[in-house]
Amino acid sequence: MDELARLRDSIGLRTGEGVTRTALPGVSILRSSTMTSPLGHVVAPTLGVIAQGVKETALNGRTFKYGPGQFLIVSVELPLVGHITQASADEPLLAVVLELRPQRIASLLLETAPAANLQPASRSADAAIAVSDASPALLDALGRLIALLDAPDDAAALAAGVEREILWRLLSGPQGAMVRQIGLADSRLTHLARTISWIRSHYDETLRIEDLAALATMSVSSFHRHFRALTSMTPIQFQKQIRLHEARARLLTEPGDVTGAGFAVGYDSPSQFSREYRRMFGVPPSHDAHALRESAVLP
């Protein structure tokens, strides 16, 4: 049995339908027997590996498709829209998700930098999202990490070491330059991540590009150029998507207050809110609120 088959079996034996947040820090496993509609959410730095099935994830209209033996990696918080495009009861989508913690990557870089033969930085490393094929060694390490769920005592001693191996496989793989940026305290990505965190926390406020550029320790022109290369959006467009994602989350809990959701995330005009919401999610917020409420009661 090859590494992909072992990973598929490891996930399938240890999860029910839906997302299972495991006892291992930052590790979730997913099983879905059905295809899903596009759903938006803000994703933190993450590794997602597909063992079976196919998923599509979109950032600002650009679609990333990944299937068995492939991974999607996100290096900063991004507003994404994702859906499962291939899954069935006989062959459900099976996946594992690992949170990418900067301090773990930084520690590994400090210990291995003198001897490391890592991928050089490239233009693609400027982007915050990518899809690549997983190496057999990476798939094998992920399978062993999932298997530790059956042995809590072993997990306490071994999980950190297996996670370290996974990070090393990423650092030495095709997206190594992107992963390396996550762990470097003075990297361009880290500076831009500070501005993204600020926008996430102040999405309902007016942006001042000069302040964001200062937070990133860049000139305004340099900040604009690098922010767009990283996220595929301007800061204003990024804030708008964050606002709309937040409004959708509010409608999930309060589906009857469409106008209130718009005001709460920073819109002064209900008509503008409705228009931009429909442009992003394909339906007006009043209709989407009902659909979200109906889906919320499903197991």
Structural contact between residues 99 and 49, judged by C-beta atoms closer than 8 angstroms? no
Q: Which of 164, 183, 202 is the last residue of a domain?
A: 183
Task: State percent of the chain over pLDDT 70.
Answer: 91
Q: Do 196 and 154 share a structural domain?
A: no
Q: Do 118 and 253 share a structural domain?
A: no
Q: Is the pLDDT of residue 290 over 70?
A: no
Q: Which of 128, 152, 183 is the last residue of a domain?
A: 183
Q: Do 272 and 226 share a structural domain?
A: yes
Average pLDDT over residues 6-10: 95
Q: Do 214 and 77 share a structural domain?
A: no
Range of the domain at 231: 188-299
pLDDT value for 111: 86
Q: Do 293 and 147 share a structural domain?
A: no
Q: Do 145 and 285 share a structural domain?
A: no
Residues 86-143: pLDDT tens digits?
Answer: 999 999 999 999 999 999 999 999 888 654 555 554 444 578 999 999 999 999 999 9
Q: Do 136 and 52 share a structural domain?
A: yes
Q: Which residues of 136-150 are buried (b: 16+ CB within 10 A; e: fewer)?
A: eebbbbbbbbbbbbe
Q: Do 258 and 110 share a structural domain?
A: no
Q: Do 157 and 41 share a structural domain?
A: yes
CA pair distance 39, 245, nearest whole angstrom: 9
pLDDT value for 292: 47
Q: Do 100 and 25 share a structural domain?
A: yes
Based on the structure, what is the number of domains in the chain?
Answer: 2
- Using 50, 70 and 90 to split pLDDT, how confident is the model at 243? very high
